[in-house]
Structure 1
Amino acid sequence: MTHYSSPRHSVSLARQFALALALAGGTAVLAVPGMTDAAFAQKKKKDDKKDAGKPVYSKEFVEAYKPIEEAMKGGAPDFVALKPLILALAPLSISPDEQIAAGGLLFNTGVTTEDQVVQLQGVEMMLNSGKIAPAEVGRFQVVAFQVASNLEQYDRARAHLQKAIDLGYLGTNMKPGDLEMNMAETYFSEERFQEGLQYLMDSISQRKAQGGVIDERWYRRGFSVAYSNEVVPQVYDYLAAWVVDFPTEQNWRDAVNATRNLNEFEPQAMLDLLRLGRRVDMLQNNMDYILYIESADARRLPMEVKTVIEEARAKGLVPKGSDTFVDEQMGIATGRIAADRAELPTLERDANASTTNFRLVVGAADAFLNYGDYAKAAAFYEKALGIAGVDRNLVLTRLGIAQVLAGDMAAARENFAKVEGVRASIAKLWSAYATQKAAPAAAPMAAPAEMAGD
C-alpha cells in the first residue's frame, strides 16, 4: 500500500504546485507604470489640452510623494526608512493613477521589508486602480492570492484566485489546472476537507466534460487528503474515479488496499472485495490469499477455494505443506466438489419453488457463482431481491459481480449504484472495474482468475 502524508503536516501545501511566477517567493518587486511622473504631471497646467490622457494626481498626493521620489533617486532606496512615508501615501491615493503608483510602492516596500500585510495592501490597490494592463491582471491576481494565502486569509485569497481562473490565466511553466488545484489547497489548509475535495472533483468533472486532459496528481492529491483524514464517502469516490482514468495495476492495488484498511469488513463483505482484488492482481502475499480462503470457506465455496489455493501455490506464495490451514481447506474443497456439483440440480429446483425462502435462493445463487454459471447466479440473486428479509446490499453486490463476470457491465453498474452502507465502498470499486472493462480502449489488466474455474 502506498503511504500518503497527511495535509496536517504542511502549512502551505500549495507550494507543491508552484506557479513559477517571478513573485512566487515574495522576493521580486513589481515594475509599475507612473512611478516617477507624479511631480512632472502636477507641473502641467490643468487646462493644457496636451495633458489629455496624462496621469492625474492631486496636490496632496504630489507633496507626499516628492520626498519619496527624492530618496529613491540614488538607486538604492532605504525602504525601511521610507516605509512610514509610503504608508502615509496610501490614504491620499484616490485616483486610479495615484492608486497604481502608491500600490506599487507599497508592494515593493512590503517585499523589501518582508511585510506581507503591506504587500497585500499594495497589490490590491494596484488591482483596484484598473490601470494594470489587461494581459497582466491575471498575474497580479495570482500574486494577491499567494500573499493572502501566506497570511492565512483564505477567503480573500480564494476571491483573487477565482478571478485569475475566470481570466484563464496560465503563467510560465504552469500546467492547466494548477490554479484549481491551489484553490482546493486553500480549503485543505483550513481543514475544510469536504469542501476542498468537492471543489477538486467538480473541477475534474468540468475539465473532462470539456475534453481537457486530466492530471493524475489531482486524483492522487484528493485521495491522499481524503484517506489521511478518513473523509467518507469522498475517499471512495476518488478511488473509483482514479482507477477508471488511470487503471494501472499499482493504482488498483492501492484502491483495494485502502478500502480494506479503512474498514472492518465482516467475512462475506471482505470476500467480495478480495474477489475484485484477485482480478486486479492485488493479492501479493500469503496473508492476502489466506484471508481470501478464510472468507470464502471451502465448505461453502469449494471450487472457488480450490482455484484460489492453486493460484497461490502456482505463484509460490503458499507452497503445499507450508500452511496447515490452507492444506486443510484444499482437502475439504477437493473432497466436496463432486458431491456439491451433483446437488446443483436439486438446489436449483428448490430455489425456483414458489414456497422457497431467501436463504435457499441466495445459497443457490452463491453456488452457481462458485461454479462459474453467472447467468443462473444472477437470476437467483434477482429473485432473492424480491423476498422479504434478504440482505439487499449483499445480494445487490453479488448480482453486480455475476453480471460483470457475465459481461453485462451496464446492468452491473446499475445494481452497484444501489448498494448502501458499508458495502457501498466495495460496490464503487466493482463499478469502476465494470466501467474499465466496458471501455473500448481499456488499459490491459492482469487476466481475470476464475471464480471457480471459469
Structure 2
Amino acid sequence: MKILSKLAVAALLTTSVGGLTVAAPAVAQKKDEQKGGLKLSKPVAAIAKSAQDAIAAKNFAVADPILVQVETLATTDDDKYIAAALRYDYENQKLAAAQAANPKAPLDQTSLAKPLDALIAAKNTPAADRGKYLYRRGQLASIGGQFQVATQYYQQAKAAGYNDPEFELQLIKTKFQSGDVTGGLTDLEAEVNKQEAAGTKAPEAYYRYAIAQANQKQLKPQTMTWLKKYITAYPTTANWRAILITYGLQPTSVVKLDKSQSIDLFRLLRASGSLADQALYEEYAQSVYDRGLPYEAQAVVREGQASGKLPATSSSAKAIATDSATAIREEGSLTAQEKKAALAKDGKLASQVGDAYLGQGNYAKAIELYRSALTKGGVATDEVNTHLGIALARSGDKAGATTAFASVTTEPRAGIAQLWSTYVTVGSTPSAPGAPS
C-alpha cells in the first residue's frame, strides 16, 4: 500500500469562489512523507495522483472519470477521505474556472455540498481542517437561504476551533437572516463592545446594519439604542442628519411626531450644524412660523442665506422672511409679554414667551421663563423641560441641560430628549469631504 503524508493531504489550495475564500486539500506521493501518512488501497493509490494532476491542470474532462473510479474503488477510511478531498478540489476548481471565465455570472455552488459533507464525516479529516469545512458548509447553506442550518454549521465550526476575521460577523448576520433580529442585535452589540475593549472602533457599517434591521422590525427601543451608539461613535454632521431624519423626520421614521415635536429635532439639526440643504431650511422655517414663532423663523432664514444653502432667490424663504417681520411688528415687545406672564395664574404664557426668547437666541431669558412656567404649572411639563434643556445646552450649561433632558419621561419626547442629551455629551464634527448628505 502507498502511504501519503497527512500534511500533504491537508495542504490548502486557496481560490476565490463567489467572493468567498475557500480551501481544498491536495494529494502527494513522496515516499519520504511516509511518517504519519495515510494508507491507501492499491487500486486507489494507482490512480489518485492522476486525478490530482488533471484537476491541477484544470483538465476537468479527464479528471471526472478518474474521480468516479476513485470513488467507486474507495473501501478504506483513508480511501474515502482521499476520494472526498479530490472531489471537493475538483468541484472547487471548476467553480473558480467558471468565475474567471465569466465574473458577472451567478455561481451555483451546490456541487460543493456533497464532498464537503463527506469530508466533515470522514474519520481521517485532520482536526485543523474540519472546522474550515464546517464553516464552508455553513456558507453554502446561507447562500441557499437555509439560515438556521447555516447557523448550526457555524456553531459547529466554532466548536471545532475554526477562527477567521469575518467568522463572528458571518454568524451574526446569519442570525439576522434567520429572523432572530433580537439575538442578532445582542450579538452585534457584544462584537462592537469587544472591539471597543480592544481599543478599536467598530466600522460604521455595523451600526447602520443594526439600525436598519431594528427599524425594519419596528423594534423602537433597540433602534433608539443603536442610533445613540452610532452617533456617539461617529458624531459627524452627516450622521447627525441621518439619525435625526431616521428617528422622526421621514414617513418611515422610528416614531411619528407632531409638528411641535418635529421642531425640536430641527433645532437639533441646527445646533449640530446638520441643516444641509434648501429643503431642510425651508421646512424648518415654515414649521416654526406656523407655530407662531416668527423670531425663530426669521433667524433660520437668515442663517440659511448666510451659509449659502438657502438661495436668495427662494420665493418660499422670501415669503417666510416677510411674514415673520410682519408678525414680529404686530406682536410688539417681548418685555411686555413677559410682564403679563409674570402675573398669569399658570405657566402657559411664560412657556410661550420662553419659546420666543429661545427663537431669538436669548437663552438666559428663555431659561428664566421656562423655569417660571414649571413653577407656576398648568403646562406640558415634558415639552417645557425639553425646551429648557435646549436653552441650557445652547447657553453652554451642559450639566443643567442633561438634568433637564433626564426629567423628560414620556414618548416620543423622551427620545427627543435623549438625542439632545447625546449631543450635549458628544457634540458634532464636520463630515469628511464628499460624505453623503
TM-score normalised by length of structure 2: 0.69
Asked if residue 78 in structure 1 is aligned to residue 59 in structure 2, the reply is: no
Check the 8 A contact 2:231/2:240 in 1, yes or no.
yes
The aligned amino acid for 1:339 is S
Q: 1:271 aligns with which of 263, 267, 286?
A: 263
Inter-CA distance 216–28: structure 2 relative to 1 (3 Å threshold): closer
Which residue is 1:50 aligned to?
A: none
- Give the distance between the partners of 2:138 and 2:314, measured in 1 at CA: 64
Q: Which residue of 1 aligns with 2:336?
A: 342
Distance 1:202 1:188, change over 3 A: same
Q: Is the 8 A contact 2:389 2:400 kept in 1?
A: yes
CA apart distance, 1:102: 5.9
**1:271 Cα deviation (Å)?**
0.6
AA of the residue aligned to 2:288: A
1:17-416 matches, cutoff 5 A: 22=15, 24-25=17-18, 30-31=24-25, 54=36, 66-74=42-50, 75-76=53-54, 78-79=63-64, 82-83=67-68, 86=71, 93=77, 101=82, 104-105=85-86, 107-108=88-89, 110-111=91-92, 115-125=111-121, 131-133=126-128, 139-140=132-133, 142-162=135-155, 169-170=163-164, 178-226=166-214, 232-259=220-247, 260-261=249-250, 262-263=252-253, 264-297=256-289, 300-315=292-307, 317=310, 319=312, 322-323=315-316, 325-335=319-329, 338-348=332-342, 350=344, 356-357=345-346, 359-360=348-349, 362-363=351-352, 365-370=354-359, 371-373=362-364, 375-376=367-368, 379-380=371-372, 383=375, 391-410=380-399, 412-413=401-402, 416=405
- What letter is aligned with 2:113? V
Q: Is residue 434 of structure 1 aligned with residue 424 of structure 2?
A: yes
The aligned amino acid for 2:368 is K
Question: What CA deviation, in whole Å up to 9, does each residue of 1:298-351 have, x standing for no partner?
Answer: 77434322312222333452538833641443223431565123322442454x
Task: Give the drift of 1:204.
Answer: 1.3
One-letter amino acid of the counterpart of residue 120, structure 2: E
The CA deviation string for residues 118-159 of structure 1, in whole angstroms up to 9 with x for no partner, is 143144336x767334xx676555434323323433234334
2:429 is matched with which residue? 443
| Shift, 1:433, TM fit | 1.4
CA contact (8 A) 1:193 1:225 kept: yes
Q: Residue type matched to 2:195 in 1?
A: R
| Deviation string, structure 1 residues 40-84 (Cα, Å, up to 9, x no partner) | 99xxxxxxxxxxx84687xxxx6xx55443332323263466458
Separation in 2, partners of 1:357, 1:206:
52
Distance across 1 between alignment mates of 2:226 and 2:72: 48
Determine if contact 2:196/2:202 at 8 Å carries over to the other structure. yes
The amino acid of 1:400's aligned partner reads G
Tell me the C-alpha RMSD between the 2 structures.
4.3
Letter in 1 for 2:127: I
* Structure 1, unaligned runs of 5 or more: 1-19, 42-52, 171-175, 351-355, 447-454
1:276, 1:87 → 2: CA distance? 72
In 2, Cα distance between the equivalents of 1:229 and 1:148? 24
Change (3 A) 1:130 1:78: closer
Residue 282 of structure 1 aligns to a residue whose secondary structure is: coil
Report the Cα offset of residue 419 of structure 1: 4.1
8 Å CA contact 2:385, 2:405 repeated in 1: yes
Cα deviation, residue 242, structure 1? 2.0
- Taking a change above 3 Å as real, the CA distance of residues 160 and 292 of structure 1, as seen in their structure-2 partners, is same
Cα deviation 1:144-203 (Å, max 9, x = unaligned): 432332343323433454566685834xxxxx5x33332332134335444434432332
Choose between structure 1 and 2: higher strand proportion.
2
Q: 1:313 to 1:140 in 2, by over 3 A?
A: same
**Equivalent-residue separation in structure 1 for 2:87 and 2:403 (angstroms):** 59
| Kept in 2: contact 1:120–1:144 (CA 8 A) | yes
Structure 2 gaps, min length 5: 1-12, 55-61, 95-108, 433-437
Distance in 1 of aligned mates of 2:91 and 2:69:
12
Instruction: Flag the structure with more relative contact order, 1 or 2, with Cα contacts below 8 A and sequence separation at least 6.
Output: 1
Aligned length: 383
Are residues 104 and 246 of structure 1, via their aligned partners in 2, closer, same or farther at CA, if it must alter by over 3 Å? same
Letter in 2 for 1:311: E
User: For the Cα contact (< 8 Å) 1:120–1:148, is it kept in 2?
Assistant: no
Q: Rate the CA distance shift 1:184–1:399 in 2: closer, same or farther, 3 A.
A: farther
- After superposition, the Cα gap between the structure-2 partners of 1:411 and 1:331, relative to the gap in structure 1 and judged at 3 Å, is closer
Q: Residues 29 and 222 of structure 1: is their aligned pair in 2 closer, same or farther, counting only changes over 3 Å?
A: closer
Query: What secondary structure is seen at the aligned counterpart in 1 of 2:127?
Result: coil
Question: Is contact 2:382-2:410 (8 Å) kept?
Answer: yes
**Normalised by the size of structure 1, how large is the TM-score?**
0.67
* Paired residues of 1:302 and 1:334 also in contact (CA < 8 A): yes
Which segment is superposed worse, 318-327 or 113-122? Answer: 318-327
Structure 2 CA distance for partners of 1:302 and 1:28, relative to 1, 3 Å: closer
Please, which moves more after superposition, 221-230 or 240-249?
A: 221-230
d(CA) in 2 for partners of 1:381, 1:139: 67
Give 1:274 shift: 0.5
